[in-house]
Amino acid sequence: MKLAKRIERVEASKTLQVKEKALQLQAQGIAVIDLTAGEPDFRTPANIARAGIRAIEEGFTHYTANTGIPELRRSIAEKLKKDNGLNYTPEQIVVSNGAKQSVLNALFAVVGAGDEVIIPAPYWVSYPEQVKIAEASPVIVDTSAAGFKLTPELLEAHLTERTRAIILNTPCNPTGVVYSPGELSELAAILAKRDIWIISDEIYEKIIFDGLSHRSIASLQNLSEKSIVINGFSKSYAMTGWRVGYAAAPLPVAKAMAKIQSHYTSNASSISQKAALEALNGPQEEVEFMRREFEKRRDYIREKLSDQPFLSFVNPQGAFYFFIKVSRVYGCRCESGLIQNSIDFATYLAEKYHLVTVPGAAFGADAYIRLSFANSLEQIQLGIERLLEGMRAMLRQKQES
């Protein structure tokens, strides 16, 4: 019996091999330094957790409106106005089970077979696969020579008659780059002239450093007419397990997304929606506390990694990842064979140094590995030492051979 064609196009996770290695080591009782986390290492703030508990105790445990409870959609519209200068009515907001679902809802709503979707690389792992699930074709644009940012030239060079959408992500996972308002304006000027949907993933909005503030491309040049703004609670409020995200879009798109969602998951958890409401309307001090902690860790790692001649990186100004170029060690030999790519290198680090990272191949950039700093400073410290030790050992071997 055959599986659907759609499934043949979707790739399994490229991180599996390294993860399996880490699990094997852990099963042997070996302490592994895991710098793969895609989620804050902080607990959900207590006031938010209590709002969830209260929802259960009060019996708020049934279906809600498919697109979310009215007070949450209203609060999200107010947030978008206050933080991002965007004008949406609550009817234009669709609350879903995480931003991941919101991106897929958006793709289902605006692209299909024969359409192309531009994705700057390095990209978040799910974008290309979600585009394929929506039966469209990802057009991957390598930005590694441009400081990991899509430039107007790169964008122009990849537009075709079939381009139907673009996915932008700032602050970016995995590189941590943040587009400046000027850079966004240049892209906006090109996009404003075309019939292209902009899916703007802003989930790391609040995790931003160096005194920068996040800007939504939808707030530029009337682009909200063409934009689907994606955001959520996972990263800013350390709420990954609660599964609440949202999209804000022109009304026909919001209605289309709602229609799709109504037939596959319906509403986000009623309990989580109450918690999300508290996240938006309650005190925000913990958001700032977590941001500051991430910035301190960023500073620490940056200092340790700078002036190391065998690796390079772009200073992350947001999110909680370092994307490190490690291809200098490719071509080296280790006990288990030749290191030829990021998967080999990450596997070597896991096996020999018990340090787990994510190979860049997962993000469409094989010269790199991603190191998350959503972990304690002690673990980060150990992890960096092991990374540097591992790279030095490989290069020594290369010189000797």
Nearer to ligand PLP, 99 or 249 (CB): 99
Q: Cα(247)–Cα(99) distance, rounded to whole angstroms?
A: 8
Interface positions, 179-208, toward ligand PLP (CB under 6 A):
201, 203
As given in the structure block, the two tokens for residue 79 are: 């947030």
Instruction: Find the binder of ligand PLP among 90, 120, 128, 245 (CB under 6 A).
Output: 245
Residue where the block lists tokens 């609350």: 95
Q: Cα(119)–Cα(117) distance, rounded to whole angstroms?
A: 6
Binding string to ligand PLP for residues 110 to 139, with x set by CB under 6 A, is what? Answer: --------------x---------------
Q: Which stretch binds ligand PLP (CB under 6 A): 49-57, 97-105, 145-153, 368-376?
A: 97-105
Long-range CB pairs of 373-378 (<8 Å, 24+ gap) are 373/35, 373/294, 373/297, 373/298, 373/301, 373/320, 373/321, 373/322, 374/37, 374/38, 374/39, 374/40, 374/41, 374/294, 374/320, 375/34, 375/35, 375/37, 375/41, 376/41, 377/296, 377/297, 377/300
Count interface residues toward ligand PLP (CB under 6 A).
Answer: 13
Binding of residue 318 to ligand PLP (CB under 6 A) = no
Q: Which stretch binds ligand PLP (CB under 6 A): 23-31, 95-103, 341-349, 374-382?
A: 95-103
Nearer to ligand PLP, 103 or 196 (CB): 103
Q: Cα(363)–Cα(361) distance, rounded to whole angstroms?
A: 5
Please report which residue ranges of 113-164 form alpha helices under DSSP H.
Answer: 126-133, 152-158
The three-class DSSP label of residue 299 is: helix
Nearer to ligand PLP, 124 or 313 (CB): 124
Q: Cα(244)–Cα(238) distance, rounded to whole angstroms?
A: 11
SS (H, E, C) 63-114: CCCCCCCHHHHHHHHHHHHHHHCCCCCHHHEEEECCHHHHHHHHHHHHCCCC
| Contacting residues for 10 by C-beta, under 8 A, at least 6 apart | 129, 132, 133
Interface positions, 16-55, toward ligand PLP (CB under 6 A):
38
Q: Cα(9)–Cα(24) distance, rounded to whole angstroms?
A: 29
Binding of residue 275 to ligand PLP (CB under 6 A) = no
Instruction: Find the binder of ligand PLP among 120, 232, 318, 364 (CB under 6 A).
Output: 232
> What's the min distance (Å) between Cβ of 201 and ligand PLP?
5
> What's the min distance (Å) between Cβ of 38 and ligand PLP?
4
Q: How many residues does the chain have?
A: 401
Are residues 118 and 361 in contact, defined by beta-carbon separation less than 8 angstroms?
Answer: no
> What's the min distance (Å) between Cβ of 99 and ligand PLP?
3
Q: Cα(359)–Cα(363) distance, rounded to whole angstroms?
A: 8
| DSSP tag of 268 | P
Nearer to ligand PLP, 36 or 173 (CB): 173
Nearer to ligand PLP, 239 or 394 (CB): 239
Binding of residue 100 to ligand PLP (CB under 6 A) = yes
60: amino acid identity, one letter:
F
User: Other C-beta atoms within 10 Å of 235: how many?
Assistant: 26
Instruction: Find the binder of ligand PLP among 26, 240, 266, 381 (CB under 6 A).
Output: 240
> What's the min distance (Å) between Cβ of 30 and ligand PLP?
27
Nearer to ligand PLP, 97 or 224 (CB): 97
| DSSP tag of 118 | E
Instruction: Find the binder of ligand PLP among 55, 76, 77, 99 (CB under 6 A).
Output: 99
Nearer to ligand PLP, 175 or 327 (CB): 175
Instruction: Find the binder of ligand PLP among 45, 52, 90, 98 (CB under 6 A).
Output: 98
Binding of residue 375 to ligand PLP (CB under 6 A) = no
Nearer to ligand PLP, 22 or 172 (CB): 172
Residue nearest to ligand PLP according to CB distances in the complex:
98
Nearer to ligand PLP, 191 or 244 (CB): 244
Binding of residue 173 to ligand PLP (CB under 6 A) = yes
Are residues 358 and 18 in contact, defined by beta-carbon separation less than 8 angstroms?
Answer: yes
Nearer to ligand PLP, 327 or 375 (CB): 375
Q: Which residues bind ligand PLP (CB under 6 A)?
A: 38, 98-100, 124, 169, 173, 201, 203, 232, 234, 240, 245
